[in-house]
């Protein structure tokens, strides 16, 4: 898992000036997400059927950024299969009102359209779960992978929706066990049951589309 890390500001309590190292570091502000962008996330989730196919609703309180190479997911943009063979970079800002040093998150990516959008008998196909993530400005963090990234290889010409979701964890969180056969059979994955069992709170989301007929 590759996550962009930015250091936090540290001040010497016994002095009124910061060290040169601290001056070069970047603070960890709770910027969250603008109300305009949060509304856009919900609107796009609804217009593409991510609501209700994957989540009942979303009120994003942070901007979830999922990037393949130098191309980010952006609420329904189209990728080709070769562009998503490598594991993506996941970043997000701290939520307002939550301490980024202690607040941790779970990232889940699913395909609600497997094996094809017209007959999604394998909803949801699980592609990725990482937990104990923290805001990207936290330099020393230890995310853990519960389900390794499985490249997005749709079996239909029609594009699938690949949905990326960020959930806030409760203190002392332990991930629910996966009811999967080994690490290969990833469907059907009961997303809502997993979320309910873990008492996870949805705080951010994004999605992209990809099919065998997708072109750059």
CATH of the domain at 47: 3.90.280.10
Token pair in block for residue 87: 């594991």
When comparing pLDDT for 155 and 57, which is higher? 57
The answer to whether the CB of 197 falls within 8 A of the CB of 166 is no
What average pLDDT does the chain have? 86
**Residue 81 placed within a domain:** yes
When comparing pLDDT for 204 and 22, which is higher? 204
- For position 184, what pLDDT does the model report? 74
Tell me the whole-structure pTM to 2 decimals.
0.85
Rounded to whole angstroms, the Cα distance separating 216 from 9 reads 41
Counting every residue written for the chain, the total comes to: 216
**Residue 69 placed within a domain:** yes
Edge-first strand listing for the sheet containing 201-210: 77-79, 201-210, 160-168, 105-111, 125-133, 144-147
Whether 8 has a pLDDT exceeding 90, the answer reads: no
The total domain count for the chain is 1
State the burial class of residue 198 (Cβ atoms within 10 Å of its Cβ: 0-12, 13-18, 19+): middle
**Residue 15 placed within a domain:** no
Give the residue numbers spanning the domain of 80: 32-210
**Residue 5 placed within a domain:** no
């Amino acid at each position: 898992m590759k996550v962009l890390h930015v250091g936090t500001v540290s001040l010497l309590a016994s002095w009124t000036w910061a060290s040169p190292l601290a001056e070069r570091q970047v603070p960890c502000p709770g910027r969250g997400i603008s109300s305009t962008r949060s509304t856009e996330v919900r609107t796009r989730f609804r217009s593409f059927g991510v609501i209700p196919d994957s989540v009942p609703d979303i009120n994003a309180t942070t901007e979830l950024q999922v990037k393949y190479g130098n191309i980010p997911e952006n609420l329904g943009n189209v990728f080709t299969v070769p562009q998503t063979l490598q594991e993506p970079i996941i970043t997000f800002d701290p939520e307002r009102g939550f301490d980024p040093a202690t607040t941790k998150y779970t990232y889940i990516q699913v395909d609600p359209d497997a094996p094809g959008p017209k007959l999604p008998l394998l909803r949801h196909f699980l592609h990725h779960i990482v937990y104990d993530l923290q805001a990207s400005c936290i330099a020393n963090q230890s995310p853990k992978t519960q389900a390794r990234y499985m490249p997005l290889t749709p079996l239909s010409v029609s594009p699938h929706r690949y949905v990326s979701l960020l959930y806030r964890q409760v203190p002392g969180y332990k991930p629910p066990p996966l009811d999967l056969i080994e690490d290969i059979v990833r469907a059907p994955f009961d997303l809502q049951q997993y979320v309910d069992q873990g008492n996870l709170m949805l705080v951010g989301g994004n999605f992209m589309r990809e099919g065998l007929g997708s072109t750059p």
